[in-house]
Amino acid sequence: MKQRPLSRYLFWWNVVLSLCCLLAIFILFSATIKEEEFPRFVTLYLFLGAAVVILCMPLSVAVSKILTGPLRELVRAVRGSGREGNGQEFGRKLRLPDGVLNYEEAVSLYSALNDLLPDLRKRFNRVKKEKDRLELVFFSMKEAVFLLDARGCVKTMNKAAEALVSASEKEARGRPLITIFRDINLARHVDKIYSDLREREEELILHTGREEVKRRCFFVRSVIIHDPGGKPSGVLVVMDDRTRLKRLEDMRKDFVANVSHELKTPVTAIKGYVETLLDEAADENDTARRFLEIIERQSIRLEALVEDLLLLSRIESEPYRREIKRVSLDVCHILHSAVQACNISAENKAIGIELICEPDRFQVSVDERLMEQAVSNLVMNAVKYSHHGGKVIIKAEEINRRSAGPEIVISIQDSGPGIAIEDQARIFERFYRADKARSRKLGGTGLGLAIVKHIVQAHGGRVRVTSRTGQGSTFLIILPRGNTAVNQTAR
């Protein structure tokens, strides 16, 4: 709304009122004026009208100053109080200065404001303390935090971010993030956020340009910031440096791979010699034969463990994942192969396997050998843990999520004892067993589910489990449909 000074309103009000009075006088006296004197009479009234207009201007200014004087002083006092930086003088009592007309309305306004000022001062101090606390937390975070505006330019960043980019917050403010952190992977991450307008998190290998931190591993999480109206106003980027953890993880993987490789030769030799001794000790001491059979079983178990460790190490390595050869396959073909591999074990326990899959309907781009092994591991587990005479249901179907597009879901449902809720988050870890006694009795290396998880992740998918104690378990393999998996890399 357009604002005008009070003197202008008063001026036109006075002009209109005065002219109305003159017009009334003119009408009253015009009847008594002779015809020959009428022109002179009109001229006189025009002169008086002009004089009134001229006199109204200073009168209006004077009256407006009298009326607005206390208001102007009030505005000056409030602005002066608001400029205090330490918060001690903010909210001090307002007083009308000497020489200002203290009419009733102005005094009432001053009194009302003075009643509000103590509460305003408390709120100001509370907000200031909260702001100082948030700033302390923000600038003390070990994670690098960047707050970007709607154009991708830096609005602010914390101390960890300053150390990362070798620039102060003042120098970086207003500049695009990609100009102060020159890395193509981070640039793609930020561009994806602004194009999709959805939060995103991923593990990135970034090059900062500094020699001591030239190549680092970061877990980057970005979220969209919305204004009070709900419109996107910026992006908050949080970067957690996991270089040390990544290095330790790589060392652990190398250690496991090397040890597994070194163990393979002696285990094979032990197994071969035991088999030879068993053949020669057929008619000799029963005790010796029993001990040799125990050694043979344990050597077979140890050999399976070494093979699983080697396979897991290969799948975890990035070079191996990049070399995986994917071809478009019918999901039903993979499921049929997995069922055939587990048929003998299922027949020994009188377990029926039901396969629900429409041929030539679901296509996935995968490595046939690896994906068949992942499905076989889950089917074999379902057979092992299902009770005698139970049933295993294998099903393939398609889902279509708006955020991820069409996906193929392979579900393997057993009739076993189920998995407790507290164990479900950890069953895909290496060597974790929900029921240790039962798992050892049934055999296995404790690596089957970990292998399944990494095979599925290497194909751009994910694995889930739903279970309730005493009601069986359902394992889900979720894969992108068609050729979309080719371009995806698991974290």
HEC readout, 343-398: HHHHHHCCCEEEEECCCCCCEEEECHHHHHHHHHHHHHHHHHHCCCCCEEEEEEEE
β-pairing, 327-330 vs 200-206, is unpaired
The pLDDT value recorded for residue 5 is 64
- Reference 65, options 99, 95, 24; nearest CA is 99
List the CATH code of the domain at 324-487: 3.30.565.10
User: Distance (Å, rounded) from C-alpha 335 to C-alpha 353?
Assistant: 11
Whole-angstrom distance, CA of residue 353 vs CA of residue 346? 8
CA separation for the pair 388, 416 (Å, rounded): 10
β-sheet bridge partners, residue 370: none
pLDDT at position 491 = 33
Q: Report how far residue 117's alpha carbon sits from residue 109's, in angstroms, rounded to the nearest whole number.
A: 12
What's the rounded Cα separation, in Å, for the pair 391 and 395? 13
Whole-number pLDDT of residue 183: 81
- Residue 78's pLDDT is 65
Q: Which parts of the chain have pLDDT scores under 50?
A: 85-87, 211, 213, 437, 483-491
How many CA atoms are closer than 13 Å to the CA of 336, on its beta-carbon side? 9
In whole angstroms, give the CA distance from residue 363 to residue 96: 83
Rounded to an integer, what distance in angstroms lies between the CA atom of residue 246 and that of residue 449?
22
Half-sphere exposure of 86 (CA within 13 A, CB side): 3
In the chain, where does the domain assigned CATH 1.10.287.130 lie? 246-316
What pLDDT is stored for residue 346 in this prediction?
87
pLDDT for 365-407, tens place per residue?
A: 888 888 888 999 899 888 888 888 888 999 988 887 655 567 8
Task: List, by residue range, all CATH 3.30.565.10 domains of the chain.
Answer: 324-487
CA distances from 456 to 317, 363, 364, 459, 491 (A): 14, 15, 12, 5, 11
Q: Boundaries of CATH 3.30.450.20 in the chain?
A: 141-241
Beta-carbon contacts of residue 178 (< 8 Å; ≥ 6 apart)? 152, 186, 187, 190
Q: Which two tokens stand for residue 57?
A: 């201007």
Cα–Cα distance measured from residue 141 to residue 161, given in angstroms and rounded to the nearest whole number: 10
Per-residue confidence (pLDDT) for residue 475, from 0 to 100: 92
Query: Under 8 Å CB-to-CB from 126, ≥6 apart: which residues?
Result: none
| CA nearest neighbour of 346 among 294, 396, 394, 302 | 394
- Token readout for 371 is 């994906």
According to the model, what pLDDT value does residue 6 have? 61
The pLDDT, as a whole number, for residue 92 is: 60
- Supply the pLDDT for residue 292: 77
- Torsion sign across C-alpha atoms 280, 286, 290, 295: negative
**Torsional class of 166: left (φ above 0), alpha (ψ -120 to 50), beta (otherwise):** left
Instruction: Evaluate whether 172 touches 154 at the Cβ level (below 8 Å).
Output: yes
Does the structural domain 246-316 have CATH classification 1.10.287.130?
A: yes
Q: Are 317 and 268 in contact (CB under 8 A)?
A: no
Instruction: Tell which CATH architecture fits domain 141-241.
Output: 2-Layer Sandwich (3.30)
201's enclosing H/E stretch is: strand 200-206
Q: How far apart are the first and last CA of the chain?
A: 56
- According to the model, what pLDDT value does residue 485 have? 37
pLDDT at residue 34, rounded to an integer: 64
- Going from the C-alpha of 208 to that of each of 167, 205, 217, 304, 401, the distances in angstroms are 12, 10, 11, 43, 36
Question: What is the pTM (predicted TM-score) of this model?
Answer: 0.53
Could you give the residue ranges of the DSSP H alpha helices within 174-317? 177-180, 184-196, 243-280, 286-316
The answer for residues whose C-beta is within 8 angstroms of residue 359's C-beta and 6 or more apart is 330, 332
